[in-house]
Amino acid sequence: MTPEPHSLTGTDDPAPGVPPGCPAHRLGPGGLHRLYGPEADELGELYEKLRAEHGPVAPVLLHDDVPMWVVLGHTENLHMVRTPSQYCRDSRIWTPLLEGVVKPDHPLMPHIAWQPICSHAEGDEHQRLRAAVTGAMTTIDHRGLRRHINRYTQRLVNEFCGQGRADLVSQFAEHLPMAVMCEILGMPEEYNDRIVQAARDMLKGTETAITSNAYIMDALMRLTARRRARPEEDFTSHLINHPAGLTDEEVGQHLRVVLIAAYESTANLLANVLRVVLTDPRFRAQLNGGQMTVPEAVEQSLWDEPPISAVLGYFAKQDTELGGRRIRKGDGLLFAPAPGNVDPRVRPDLSANMQGNRSHLAFGGGPHECPGQDIGRAIADVGVDALLMRLSDVQLDCAEEDLRWRSSIASRHLVELPVRFEPKPQQDVMLKPSPAPVPPQRATWQIGTKPTEPTPAPAPAPAPAPEAVAPQPAPAPAEPVRRLGVWQRVRRWWRGH
């Protein structure tokens, strides 16, 4: 039985009803908007409509018409995630779950159900679990990570570079993050199409989401057992051996969080950045002209199209107020970076350049801020840069208006990104990506030095008699090429070489 709408809106006056099944409204009980079904394809427009009708916090419905609040304001989102005394991520206090409205087979249960992970814990337990995750994160060699990203990028591009056409979503953006994350966790043998599709399916909240979740957890628990018996130098081994003393179940669940969070957000981020590069001439011109670097382009994308639209969920620990709304103990709330990042109170001009500003909500905030955000940034930075160097003439192979998205509460996922380019030869995955062979360098010429006038050669002396010819000294060795400067060395390090 669906709760009465007053349990969400904080008022005893239900919203006016509409005719059942009315296609013009597609509203649920109490006149509330659904965040699933047909409405999910237009969530951006719906969020703005909700903002106009309700302000920074609005009542909505999840699957099976389960009531929820969606937080639309930038300030309100930050207040919620930074105030653990009022809001937590422990769904065991969620009123619809306690009342039996949310069933065990609910499509969003893999996201909402309480698990023994740091994202759902509080206090000392949160500190213990979070310390293990962040501790294992610090053991990642970021220079080595960038090498892995570059090599997997070259392998993926090698699979289609000779064809002159590709889909950069299904053949690149959906695969690179999973390949890199499997390497980081210590299970590169598990990387294949099946695990990529299982991750995608689980995040869509489909009817098979629970089965896909079980498939991924089986792979992670097998990895945990192997590393418990024989540790190696990878993230999983360091997580197991951390002084926090995580159980196998805790290890497996945290591996799932790290894998899926990094995969989903980075796959969407890669697709979003590549789409803008291919469709916005100003964006690509800034990259080509040096006014914008790939990392700056990534940050701009994190503002405009955060890879995670909303996070399920936060729960009120007490009666409180947020954005002018009365929030009751046990109410559920969606942390929503997508509408929060375009809040007109912080971004009155959406066309303004946001370079250098990292106050977006893409990676959350407060005690549950994403601990692996630097991994996602590195995959996007190195992957996009390496791909554009290999395919410097890449162009969109369809009309921009023909691009399609698949939307869910959690994210907005580009379905495909067809491109064309001149066919390229395969490249050794161990080599630095290069769009063309590097011409030979002149050993006596160096960047930044002024050419010197040649010294006139002295007039040749008369040739001596044969018997008077003295032995000639060996020719002096060629002047060595000067070592790379600081900027060149930084660029090589940044790209993982």
Average pLDDT over residues 92-104: 93
pLDDT single digits (tens) 330-382: 999 999 999 999 999 999 999 888 877 889 999 999 999 988 888 999 999 99
Q: Name the one residue in this structure whose structure tokens are 């498939």.
A: 215
Could you give the CA distance from residue 18 to residue 154 in angstroms, rounded to a whole number? Answer: 55
Q: Name the one residue in this structure whose structure tokens are 């080509």.
A: 288
pLDDT single digits (tens) 197-246: 898 887 666 678 788 989 999 999 999 999 999 999 999 999 999 999 99
Beta strands at 87-88 and 325-327: parallel, antiparallel or unpaired: unpaired
pLDDT single digits (tens) 387-430: 999 999 999 999 999 999 988 888 888 999 999 999 999 988 77
Tokens for 254, please give them: 């945290």
- Contact by Cβ (8 Å): 401, 130: no
**N- to C-terminal Cα distance for the chain?**
59
Could you give the CA distance from residue 203 to residue 409 in angstroms, rounded to a whole number? Answer: 10
Radius of gyration of the chain (CA): 28
Helix (H) or strand (E) holding 245: none
% of the chain exceeding 70 in pLDDT: 79
Helix residue ranges, H only, 10-122: 43-54, 74-81, 95-98, 109-112
pLDDT single digits (tens) 152-186: 999 999 999 999 999 999 999 999 999 999 999 99
Counting DSSP H helices and E strands in the chain, the numbers are 17, 13
Q: Is the pLDDT of residue 67 over 90?
A: yes
Q: What is the pLDDT at residue 9? A: 36
- Contact by Cβ (8 Å): 410, 308: yes
Q: How far are the Cα atoms of 194, 290, 452 from residue 488, in angstroms, in the given order?
A: 40, 15, 24
Q: How far are the Cα atoms of 48, 71, 209 from residue 302, in angstroms, in the given order?
A: 19, 18, 26
